[in-house]
Structure 1
Amino acid sequence: MTAIVMTLGQGRTTDIPQELSRFQVNSNNPYVSFAAKTREASVLIYTSGKVVFQGTGASVLASQFGYQDILENSKAKSPAGQNLALIGSDEVGNGSYFGGLAVVASFVTPDEHAWLKKLGVDDSKNLNDIKIRQLAPVLEEKIPHKALLLSPQKYNQVVGKGKRHNAVSVKVALHNQAIYLLLQEVARPDKIVIDAFTSQKNYEKYVKAETNHFDNPLTFEEKAEGKYLAVAVSSIIARNLFLENLDKLSQETGFILPSGAGNKSDKVASQILATYGMSGLEHTAKLHFANTQKAQALLKK
């Protein structure tokens, strides 16, 4: 069966739920936020951001949402910077209501590229969680890196109205700290790449408030985890760290906490509210998300 994988945000994939709404079907998979089936193909959107087209008409359907354009531009995925010693930084958990925010910076040299490719290193959004959990321990052992996890409880203490950080500045702080700590332990890299989550101007504005600074120039690139192996390594380690935190919080509460911020998260949040009150959400979720209000509304029904 033909299968094509894209990432939510690539091409016109964000338009899929609206344009294929008449073909929507139910899915029992808790990690699927949207499912649709046409005569020739089906499409699944996972809470991780992965979009999978399957069936004999998968390529045709995917092309309607920009897949062909991505193929034609695939050469851009291997910039000249791959031949440099790189620090790549990425974060996971930013779009998930439950779980913490994980940021990882990794140092990769060109002589490690062949091994990493053979291992199957890729953007974490293109790998299932089983593969992530297999790869991460190997990468953690072999690749110099710094991993930071901001737990939901700590996140809620520092992010929000009237608090030290907003949702962007807290990521700036974590990326800056992870890179700073890694620079203390590795040779000076030829380049530092951050998977762009905000503009460079915005980043530089927020980083001024941080205690630790370094003089290495930074490069900000969108979808950098698909272009640079150093960023891909960071995305895998960060994803695994996020998943481990989600597992831990699930065990502590007795509820299976989903990733993402869809309807499933609203329902689980309302159950946690009913069982533990607001302190339960403070311990497991990012309170400034709209899911908090949705969960409270569900509880009142």
Structure 2
Amino acid sequence: MANVVLKLPINEIKKIENHYKKQSITPPQYATFAAKVNGTNVTVYKSGKVMFQGRDAEKEASMWQGKSEALPTKKANKKSVNEHSFYPPNHFFETSHIGSDEAGTGDYFGPITVAAVFIPKEKIALIKELGVRDSKDLKDPMIERIAKDLVYAEIPYTLMTLKNEKYNQLQRKGWNQGKMKAMLHYHAIQKLLDKLKGTTIDGILIDQFCQPQVHQKYLRTEKLTLQPDTYFMTKAESHSLSVAAASIIARAKFVKEMDKLSKESGITIPKGASNKVDQTAAYLVKKYGKDVLEKYAKLHFANTEKANKYL
């Protein structure tokens, strides 16, 4: 999908809005105007940037390009990370939608877990009563309790776990963590869609960990495409109860897997990637041999090398 971004003066932006007035659509949150023409989305952002995205993006942008230089879209900063055509519409968070989120990606020890959750709009009030919110704001015991409550309430969900042996195998094969996460989200969502056949679903929201175009590229390398009506946004768990519930279920599973590793090893396996993690890795190597980390850790993390100073 072609993607062109222009930085234009206000008078040119006014011309664009007037030119595409008949094709205008509801703009995303960070935009002031949006239109869809000939399979191309035209989005005007508050920053003065205009994004042309779609099969005729370059053609549409060329009409205005003389007034500006194209901006490189790869250098997205924090302010523009949500400036894309996959941003959910304002009303989306009160609809019946699927949300997906992951846990364990920044932890040296333990797997990556991804959950997808469907919350029908008639159960939104119940989910709020259960205390569902961003798992980062909750302690692990509370996360485990809410996760059990969600299961008891028969909220549809699916869960994927990428254990360390497979993670390390894929990493050596050339997969980066972004691709692993994209694939986990895809399969969690697809399994949930299969489970929900016949159910009205208003869309899918993925907690964004890379630009949507990059996410799509990861899927294409495995001959897959995004499911229809998929949206992306950062910090989605702060806006969508479906994503918040997914973050809780994914985190609860990650904690459970970490507890298993602790029980197997006979010591408490720490979360995160701190000095304590380095020391624990060194202890495991001393006790069980270097190969033990294949099962316990994400070997390409810097902690593997840092652990050597404790050996």
TM-score, normalised to structure 1's length? 0.70
Q: Distance in 2 between matches of 1:110 and 1:254?
A: 45
Specify the alignment match of 1:221 in structure 2: 233
How far did residue 164 of structure 1 move? 4.6
Query: What is the aligned residue count?
Result: 220
Q: Are the equivalent residues in 2 in contact too, given 1:88–1:194 (CA < 8 A)?
A: yes
Q: Distance in 2 between matches of 1:168 and 1:235?
A: 17
- Listed as ranges, the matches of 1:125-136 within 5 Å are 125-136=136-147
SS in 1 for 2:177: coil
Q: Are the equivalent residues in 2 in contact too, given 1:177–1:212 (CA < 8 A)?
A: no
Specify the alignment match of 2:221 in structure 1: 209
Q: Distance in 1 between matches of 2:100 and 2:235?
A: 12
How far did residue 264 of structure 1 move? 1.1
Q: Distance in 2 between matches of 1:149 and 1:215?
A: 20
89-98 or 130-139, larger mean C-alpha shift: 130-139
Identity of aligned residues (%): 41
How far did residue 285 of structure 1 move? 0.7
SS in 2 for 1:257: coil
Specify the alignment match of 2:187 in structure 1: 177
Q: Which amino acid aligns with 1:245?
A: E
Specify the alignment match of 2:133 in structure 1: 122
How far did residue 214 of structure 1 move? 5.6
Q: Are the equivalent residues in 2 in contact too, given 1:194–1:220 (CA < 8 A)?
A: yes
How far did residue 298 of structure 1 move? 2.1
Q: Are the equivalent residues in 2 in contact too, given 1:249–1:257 (CA < 8 A)?
A: yes
Q: Are the equivalent residues in 1 in contact too, given 2:216–2:226 (CA < 8 A)?
A: no
SS in 2 for 1:122: coil
Q: Are the equivalent residues in 2 in contact too, given 1:89–1:230 (CA < 8 A)?
A: yes
How far did residue 188 of structure 1 move? 4.3
Structure 2 residue 90 is the aligned partner of structure 1 residue 84: no
SS in 1 for 2:287: helix
Q: Are the equivalent residues in 2 in contact too, given 1:103–1:147 (CA < 8 A)?
A: yes
- Listed as ranges, the matches of 1:1-301 within 5 Å are 79-141=90-152, 142-160=154-172, 163-186=173-196, 187-210=199-222, 213=225, 215-299=227-311
Q: Which amino acid aligns with 1:130?
A: P
Q: Are the equivalent residues in 1 in contact too, given 2:103–2:113 (CA < 8 A)?
A: yes
Q: Which has the larger radius of gyration?
A: 2
SS in 2 for 1:260: coil
How far did residue 209 of structure 1 move? 2.7
TM-score, normalised to structure 2's length? 0.68
SS in 2 for 1:159: helix
List per-residue Cα deviations over 1:105-126 (Å, max 9, x = no partner): 1111111111111111111000
How far did residue 212 of structure 1 move? 5.4
* Unaligned 5+ runs, structure 1: 1-77
Q: Are the equivalent residues in 2 in contact too, given 1:140–1:237 (CA < 8 A)?
A: no
Q: Are the equivalent residues in 2 in contact too, given 1:82–1:110 (CA < 8 A)?
A: no
Specify the alignment match of 1:67 in structure 2: none
Q: Are the equivalent residues in 1 in contact too, given 2:97–2:203 (CA < 8 A)?
A: yes
Q: Are the equivalent residues in 2 in contact too, given 1:180–1:214 (CA < 8 A)?
A: no
Q: Are the equivalent residues in 1 in contact too, given 2:115–2:188 (CA < 8 A)?
A: yes
SS in 1 for 2:215: helix
